Amino acid sequence: MSNKALISGISGQDGAYLAQLLLSKGYEVIGTSRDAQMSSFSKLRLLDILEHVKLESMILTDFRSVLQVISKIQPDEIYNLAGQTSVGLSFNQPVETLESIATGTLNLLEVIRFLERPVKLYNACSSECFGELNGRAADESTPFRPCSPYAVAKAAAFWQVANYREAYNLFACSGILFNHESPLRPERFVTQKIVVAACRIAQGSQEKLHLGNLSIQRDWGWAPEYVDAMYRILQQEQPDDFVIATGKSYPLEQFVAAAFAYVDLDWQEHVFTDSSLKRPTDLSFSRGDAFKAEQKLQWQAQYTMPDVVQMMMESRLSQA
């Protein structure tokens, strides 16, 4: 009997790569979205795995919907990757952000508790929960000081998972993931926005790339490696939470410079700093310490920002 995994949020970057990984390990993979009949699942199609995944409609904010789907599927593992994913958008949609992340996670936990089945739950937490780190690297003991509606929602979900693990002895874990990118990122994320613009300009476009604060520093990793960490977290004997990061931070300006240098361009000739793109609050520095993951999961990031930029640029140019 193969293991059965349910991935909520399978249509996103991480969901698609995780589905690919689990299929390679012999899992039966079921993915959910709000309306499985209407969703394009373009990322699953790009990875050529759409035909190998079963799809179900599930509304995470509706307890009855979650109960029906999990009762029907009876998964061994659940990976909760759904919910609003943009920090910037969360300032415009704070209620939807909180409900899709915190209420969605709570419904999964309640259903698992109610059904009394030995289901393992992975919850996607975020480095945004740490807030401003002032040059320090965050590990599992670093306090949360969220600075956006997105981060507040992710922090709430994290503590819900911890509470249910302790109160009801559920196998429920959170991965506190720092930024991780890939060619599957939508263009509303600044990394893909930069890559796409650099490729268009290299091919003759006269546009200017408008960006906000170029001095922010982020710990950027490679998404396919990070979903491997998610899988490893659920294979432990005891449930626990883990920071997943490269341990190296770079200014956004260096990301921009690397992307334009890949196509032999000087970024300063093509980039315009636009103050309207700055967020109400934004973190100036972010870096993770994944020592615990290295020790317990035998996981360590192989790729850092320069590698990520190169792979994203290669992929984009190959589509031209």
Tell me the pLDDT tens digit for each residue of 199-251: 999 999 999 999 988 999 999 999 999 999 999 999 999 999 999 999 999 99
Based on the fold, state whether residues 160 and 114 are members of the same structural domain: yes
What is the structure's pLDDT at 30? 98
Q: What is the pLDDT of residue 320?
A: 67
At a CB cut-off of 8 Å and minimum separation 6, what does 57 contact?
Answer: 32, 33, 34, 35, 36, 37, 65, 69
Q: Is there a single domain that holds both residue 172 and residue 64?
A: yes
Domain co-membership, 115 together with 237: yes
Q: Is 300 within the bounds of a domain?
A: no
Task: Please indicate, yes or no, whether residues 25 and 144 belong to a single structural domain of this protein.
Answer: yes
Examine the domain organization and report whether 235 and 147 are in the same domain.
yes
pLDDT band of 152, cuts 50, 70, 90: very high
Mean pLDDT confidence for 278-289: 83
Q: Which domain holds residue 256?
A: 184-218+249-281+305-318
Do 137 and 205 reside in the same domain of the chain?
no
Per-residue confidence (pLDDT) for residue 112, from 0 to 100: 97
CATH number at residue 153: 3.40.50.720
High-pLDDT (> 70) share of the chain, %: 98
Give the tens place of pLDDT for each residue, 42-64: 999 999 999 999 999 999 999 99
Residue 316 and residue 203: Cα distance in Å, rounded?
Answer: 12
Q: What pLDDT does 36 receive?
A: 74
Residues 136 and 189 both lie in one domain: no
Q: Are strands 217-218 and 250-251 parallel, antiparallel or unpaired?
A: antiparallel
Residue 296 lies in a domain: no
Q: How far apart are CA 17 and CA 263, in angstroms?
A: 27
Residue 37 burial (10 A CB sphere; 0-12, 13-18, 19+) = exposed
Give residue 283's pLDDT: 86
| Same domain, residue pair 209 and 225 | no
In a domain, residue 31? The reply is yes
Nearest Cα to 70, choosing from 126, 161, 20, 4?
A: 4
Q: Indicate whether 297 belongs to any domain.
A: no
* Residues with catalytic function: 126, 128, 150
Q: Is residue 164 one of the residues assigned to a domain?
A: yes
Average pLDDT over residues 153-168: 98
Does position 35 have pLDDT exceeding 90, yes or no?
A: no
Q: Are residues 231 and 260 in the same domain?
A: no
> What are the pLDDT digits (tens) for 84-119?
878 888 888 999 999 999 999 999 999 999 999 999
pLDDT at 280 over 70: no
- In the chain, how many domains are there? 2
Beta-carbon contacts of 165 under 8 Å, excluding residues fewer than 6 positions away, are: 171, 172, 173, 239
Strands of 70-164 (E only): list them: 77-80, 120-126
Arithmetic mean of pLDDT over the chain: 95
Asked whether residue 29 is domain-assigned, the answer is yes
pLDDT-derived band at 281, boundaries 50, 70, 90: low
129 & 189 share domain: no
β pairing state of 250-251 and 4-8: unpaired
pLDDT band at 79, cuts 50/70/90?
Answer: very high
What whole-number distance in Å separates Cα of residue 54 and Cα of residue 33? 11
* Residues 111, 12 share a domain: yes
* Residue 131 in this model has a pLDDT that exceeds 70: yes
- Does residue 214 sit in the same domain as residue 225? no
Residue 243 CA, distance from chain mean position: 13
Contact 262, 310 (CB under 8 A): yes
> For residue 291, is it within any domain?
no
**CATH code of residue 257:** 3.90.25.10
Q: How many CA atoms lie within 13 A of 30 on its CB side?
A: 17
Whether residue 37 is contained in a domain is answered as yes
